[in-house]
Each structure stands twice: as C-alpha cells, then as structure tokens.
C-alpha cells in the first residue's frame, strides 16, 4: 500500500517539528488534493501578480538596466523622483486630479444609473444595461473619440461647433494643454460604467423586497428616503466591491491618454504616472527608476483603497 | 416573486413615486444614455457611409445612403497587408480563446477549495487575492517584463495568455458565487466516495454555470483587445500581433481610411457585445454575489 508508506515516512520527519507545526503539517497532508487544485492558479498568480510587487520594491532601491547586475543605490531613486524629476511631479499631479475626478464621478454614476435602471421593466432594463455597459465592453473602440475631437474642421465636434457658430475656427482639442485633461476625463468616464455598474445592478435586483414593504409601514414616504435608509445600507458589500474596482481603474489611466493625446503629450498635459512608468520601463530600460515609480503607484492605489474602504464601512451605521 | 403567483392579492404597499422625480430621473437617464451611445452610433453610422458622405463638409452624423463599400474596402486593404490578415485574426483568437478557457478552468479549480473547504492558508490566500484587486496590472508591468524575459516568454503569445489566466477578479467572483452552492450537495457526493476533483468537476461546475459565463465574458473582452495594452509591451514581432493592432494601422492611414476602419471596429465590437447579450442574465446573477465583507 503505497499511500500508507508515504504517510509513515512523512510522520518520521514530522516528529522533529514542534507540536503546533506538526498539527498544521498533518492538516496539509490530509488536504493535499486541495493544494493540488490550488497550485496551478496560485503558481501563476504569485509569479505574475505578487512577485512583481515584491520585486519592484526591491529593484526600486537599485540601478538596473537588465544587462548588468543591479547595483544598490538606497533611496536615491525616490529622492530623484520627488526632488529632481519635474515631469514626474506633473504626472503625479495629473494622476491625482484624474483619480479625484473620475473616481467619485464614475462611482456615483455607476450607482445612480443602476438605481434608475432597476425601476424599469425587465426587457427595457436589459437593453439599457447593454447600452450603458457597451463602451466598457468595446475594448479599444474609444479610438473613435480621436475622430470626434480631431483637430481639423473634419473633426466632428469642431465641424458642428463651427456650423452652429459657437467657434469660428477649429480648436486643436488634442494638442492644446488647456483641453487635453478634460477630454481624457470625458473619455475615461465614458469607459467607466464597467464591472461595478453590473455589480450594482445585480445587487439592486436581488435586494430583499420585504425590506421596502417594512420601510413603507415604518413611514418611509419617498424614493429618496428609501434610497438613503434602506437601499444604501443593504448594498454595502456591493458598494465596497464597486469602490475597489473604480478606484483601481481611476489610478491606472494610461492607454486612453496615450491614444488620444499622444506619447508624450504636448507639455506633458496628458502625462500620468503610468505613462511615466512606461517611458522609463519600456523605452529607457531604467528598471530601478521605473520600479520606484511602480512602487509609488502601488502605494497610491492600495492606500486610497484602504482609506475609502474604511470610510464606506461606516455607511448606514 | 411569490406575490405574482397568488391572484387577487393586494399588491404590496409601494412607496409613492413623485411624477417630478420620475421625469427628472428619466431625463438624466436619457442624457447619459445619449452620451454613452453616441460614439458607438458614430461607428455604426460611419461604417455604412459612402466615401463622399465621409468627406462631406459640414459632416452629417447619420448615414444617408448606406453602402457596404467600406466592408469590401476593408477586405481588400487587409489582403494587401504584409502579414496576412488571417494571421492577425488567428493571433487574436488564439490569445482570447486559450486565455479565457485556461482562466475559467484554473481559476474555478482554485475557487472551489477557497469557497468550500477549510485548510491551513485559506484566509491568507483569499486576503492576498482581495488585496490584488486593489492595484492594477500597470503596477506589475515593468517587473513582469523582467520575469518574462527570464522565463523566455517575451515575444510569444504566452506573455499575454499566462498572466490573464491568473487574473484575480475571476477567481474572486467565482469563489463568491461558489459559496452559495449548498453544502448538502457536496456532502452527498462525499458519501458516494467522490474524490475532490470529481466533486469539483461533476457536481460544482455544472451548478456554477452563470459564474463561468461571467468569467468568460470578462476574460474574453480583456483579451480580445489585448493587442493594445499588454500586447504592445511584450510582443514585437509583426506576425505575432493581433487584429486590433492591424486595424489601428488602417485608421492611421488618415481620413480616407475612416470608412473601412469604422467597418472594422464594428466587426470587432460585435463579438463581445454578442457574447454579453447572450449571457447578460448569468452575469447579473453572478455579480449579485460579488459583494465584499468589511
């Protein structure tokens, strides 16, 4: 009986461990088929999601060009980032501005739209869901915005504004630092009714209907009171999930920026932390410096997520 | 739901909905709806415009004389490309299908023990997964580039496929959904002497069909356009690039190429939109378990 043999062999080694570890080890052996099921996913997950974070933290304290052995430089990458790199400070400012605007607006929009849609009849609701979710679904179709905001008079927005005599000559939408940010924010908002929007719709649909009846008896008189006193508190888990998704994506603005405003954009008006990261990582191959940027971005994303999570857990308390 | 089955029952008391509220919310919905639909309508409209309408000034938003010229032009344009268009299409399909299938199977395999079994390390693993939802793949891009160069994965499709298999949103949603599966189902199978793997494959997987449809649509829509973000970073050989890259090149051809490129965008759009339309109710069902506990 090979199974029994393996067990006794294991037991010899286990005898050397302290009692607590020994019981853990026994549990692990007993559950080995479970670990076998977890292994493929977590092998990939740790290699491409967890390890990179640890690695970039380590590499951020070195000078590394992928050819020579990394050389430790202490905090100098971070010092350079915040003291000497003016472009990074622009990127940081842009990213924070993006996140501060698109994050809350898209989050509220996801919820409010889901809430309105929820009152429609099922067929119309399905169509409305598709219409609102379609942009998030459509991959790189946001490219059409470059045609809409195209700088010559063939650009649709210019053409219509000229036709209606609002402006007299075409505006260089995507080349003028005055407009670049606003346009990227508009397009980002267009793309932002995604996973959390669906989660909110789902949450609203599966809410306990008796809560509303009880609320009506308790004297809730209109939909706003119903929203505040019943819907929001009972949607808390969804609201938390949605917040995580929206915050994470609001910090990661890059593709829209580079596709619309170019890379690098005029006067770095559309430059974000992620585009700065791509600049140093995939063009200049300064991996140490790029890793420092990645680590700052990681801290920003995780930090704001944890703060918002703490705030949201107070909703309805 | 039960109320509907019982006739003659007085309808449950409903909180009054003011007419002003109804109207203002409807107007809001309509306005945002127009904003959301406008660019996609632009794609559809321009895909069917003949060239003289595209070059018309001032432009008209909607097509007057619809034609399929743009689609035939697209066909000829792709015929003339240096790398055959079928190759780009194959690359996209290869990445999207393999990545999606791998993600659904491997993430579900890991989600089952996380949802239904107690074992040492379970809390830790799930916490790490939840934390990983809090930062995006852009953070890991640079170090992944290094890891992939060491593993020899650069400039292969695996550079896009393998990380997509390990995406954490799918595992999270699957685990949340599996938690609802009644334990009695699993216990019955255990009494019958099923192995863990058989319980997973024969008992759990058929029950969580809505969840894997959801994982399919999320994973597929990400990978379908993957040539843009991840692709351009890890893949540089022309014959390994994806169809959306090729179509981006057509659009770069300038204003006379707007017609064919919009036709191409429309064709590309149809795939995820069709999948989503077919699986919408499953997706909603899955998302209803997506909530996070504090």
Per the CB < 8 Å rule, is B287 touching A147? no
Q: pLDDT grade, residue B11 (50/70/90)?
A: very low
The three-state secondary structure class of B45 is helix
CA distances from A31 to A10, A26, A37, A124, B119 (A): 14, 9, 10, 48, 7
What does the pLDDT read at residue A1? 43
| Residue B2: count of CB within 10 angstroms of its CB | 7
Would you call A291 and B251 a contact, using CB atoms and an 8 Å cutoff?
no
pLDDT (0 to 100) of residue B2: 40
Chain A residue nearest residue B243, CA to CA:
A140
Instruction: Provide the whole-model pTM.
Output: 0.87
Mean pLDDT score of chain B = 85
Per-residue pLDDT band at B9 (split at 50, 70, 90): very low
A-chain residues within 8 Å CB-CB of B55?
Answer: 154
The larger pLDDT score, comparing residue A151 to residue B279, is at B279
Find residue A62's DSSP bridge partners: A72
Nearest-by-Cβ selection for A49 from B13, B132, B284: B132
The chain B residue lying nearest A199, using CA atoms, is B287
Distance CA A197, CA B57 (A): 38
Q: What are the tens digits of pLDDT across the range B180-236?
A: 999 999 999 989 888 889 999 999 999 999 998 999 999 998 888 755 556 677 888
Q: CA dihedral in degrees (B101, B105, B110, B111; nearest 10)? A: 90
Q: In chain B, count of helices (H) and strands (E)?
A: 16, 0
One pLDDT digit (tens) per residue for chain A, 317 residues: 444 445 555 555 656 667 778 888 888 888 888 999 999 999 999 999 999 999 999 999 988 887 888 888 888 899 998 988 889 999 999 999 999 999 999 999 999 999 999 988 889 999 999 999 999 888 777 888 888 887 676 678 888 888 787 877 778 888 888 888 899 999 999 999 989 999 999 999 888 888 888 888 888 888 888 888 888 888 888 999 999 999 998 998 877 888 888 777 888 888 889 889 888 888 888 889 999 999 999 999 999 999 988 888 776 55
Inter-chain residue contact B15 with A206, CB threshold 8 Å:
no
| Token pair 């449950």 in the structure block, residue | B12
Find the helix or strand (DSSP H, E) in which B265 lies.
helix B258-287
Distance CA A207, CA A234 (A): 8
pLDDT tens-digit map of B52-62 = 888 777 777 88
Please give the average per-residue pLDDT across B103-114, as a whole number: 95
Name every chain A residue with its beta carbon within 8 A of the beta carbon of B109.
Answer: 37-38, 40-41
* Backbone dihedral angles phi then psi of residue A210, each to the nearest 5 degrees: -65, -25
Q: Mark yes or no for CB contact A34/B117 under 8 Å.
A: yes
pLDDT beyond 80 at B286 = yes
Buried b / exposed e across B216-251, counting CB within 10 Å, b at 16+? bbbbbbbbbbbbbbbbbbbbeeeebbbbbbbbbebb
CA angle (B63, B67, B69) in 5-degree steps: 125
- B198 contacts: CB under 8 Å, gap ≥ 6: B189
- Check if the beta carbon of residue B160 is closer than 8 Å to that of residue B153: no
Contact at CB, B109 and A41, closer than 8 angstroms: yes
Give the closest-approach CA distance of B137 to chain A in angstroms.
8
- Give A71's strand partners: A63
Tokens representing residue A66 in the block: 């992928």
User: Quick one: CA dihedral A116, A120, A124, A126, positive or negative?
Assistant: positive
Domain spans in chain A, listed from the N-terminal domain onward: 76-312
Residue A255: what pLDDT? Answer: 79
pLDDT at residue A279, rounded to an integer = 86
Which CATH number is correct for A76-312, 3.40.50.300, 1.25.40.10, 1.10.3720.10, 3.20.190.10?
Answer: 1.10.3720.10
pLDDT at residue number B1: 39
């Amino acid at each position: 009986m090979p199974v029994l043999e393996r067990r006794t062999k294991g037991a010899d080694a286990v005898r050397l461990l302290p009692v607590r570890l020994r019981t853990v080890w026994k549990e692990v052996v007993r559950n080995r088929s479970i670990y076998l099921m977890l292994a493929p996913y977590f092998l990939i997950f740790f290699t491409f999601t967890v390890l990179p974070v640890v690695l970039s933290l380590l590499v951020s304290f070195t000078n590394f060009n992928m050819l020579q052995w990394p050389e430790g430089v202490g905090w100098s990458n971070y010092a350079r980032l915040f003291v000497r790199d003016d472009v990074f400070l622009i990127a940081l400012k842009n990213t924070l501005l993006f996140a501060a605007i698109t994050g809350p607006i898209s989050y509220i929009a996801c919820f409010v739209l889901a809430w309105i849609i929820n009152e429609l009849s099922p067929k119309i609701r399905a169509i409305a869901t598709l219409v609102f979710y379609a942009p998030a679904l459509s991959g790189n179709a946001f490219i059409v915005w470059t045609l809409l905001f195209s700088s010559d008079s063939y650009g649709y927005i210019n053409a219509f504004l000229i036709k209606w005599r609002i402006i007299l000559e075409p505006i260089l939408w995507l080349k003028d630092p005055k407009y670049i940010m606003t346009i990227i924010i508009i397009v980002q908002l267009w793309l932002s009714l995604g996973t959390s929007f669906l989660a909110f719709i789902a949450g609203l649909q599966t809410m306990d209907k008796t809560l509303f009846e009880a609320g009506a008896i308790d004297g809730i008189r209109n939909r706003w009171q119903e929203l505040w006193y019943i819907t929001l508190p009972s949607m808390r888990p969804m609201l938390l999930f949605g917040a995580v998704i929206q915050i994470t994506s609001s910090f990661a603005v890059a593709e829209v920026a580079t596709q619309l405003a170019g890379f690098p954009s005029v006067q770095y008006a559309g430059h974000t932390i992620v585009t700065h990261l791509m600049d140093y990582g995939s063009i200049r191959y300064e991996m140490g410096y790029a890793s420092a940027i990645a680590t700052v971005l990681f801290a920003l994303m995780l930090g704001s997520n944890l703060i918002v999570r703490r705030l949201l857990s107070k909703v309805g308390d | 739901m039960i109320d509907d089955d019982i006739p003659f029952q007085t309808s449950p008391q409903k909180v009054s909905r003011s007419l002003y509220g109804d109207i203002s919310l409807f107007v809001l919905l309509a306005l945002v709806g127009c904003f959301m639909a406008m660019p996609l309508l632009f794609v559809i409209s321009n895909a069917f415009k003949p060239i003289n309408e595209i070059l018309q000034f001032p432009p008209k938003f909607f097509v007057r004389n619809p034609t399929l010229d743009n689609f035939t032009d697209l066909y000829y344009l792709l015929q003339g490309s240096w790398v055959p268009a079928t190759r780009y299409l194959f690359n996209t399909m290869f990445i999207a299908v393999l990545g999606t299938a791998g993600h659904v199977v491997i993430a579900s395999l890991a989600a089952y023990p996380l949802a239904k079994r107690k074992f040492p390390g379970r809390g830790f693993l799930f916490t790490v997964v939840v934390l990983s939802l809090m930062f995006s793949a852009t953070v890991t891009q640079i170090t992944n580039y290094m890891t992939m160069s060491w593993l020899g994965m650069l400039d292969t499709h695996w550079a896009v496929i393998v990380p997509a298999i390990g995406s954490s949103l799918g595992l999270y949603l699957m685990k949340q959904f599996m938690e609802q599966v009644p334990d009695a189902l699993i216990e019955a199978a255990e009494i019958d002497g099923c192995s863990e793997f058989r319980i997973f494959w024969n008992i759990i997987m058929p029950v969580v069909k809505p969840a894997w449809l959801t994982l399919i649509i999320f994973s597929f829509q990400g990978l379908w356009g993957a040539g843009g973000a991840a692709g351009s970073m890890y893949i540089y050989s022309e014959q390994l690039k994806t169809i959306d890259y090729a179509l981006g090149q057509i659009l770069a051809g300038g204003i006379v190429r707007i017609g064919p490129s919009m036709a191409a965008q429309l064709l590309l759009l149809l795939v995820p939109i069709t999948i989503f339309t077919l699986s919408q109710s499953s997706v909603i069902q899955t998302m209803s378990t997506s909530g996070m506990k504090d």
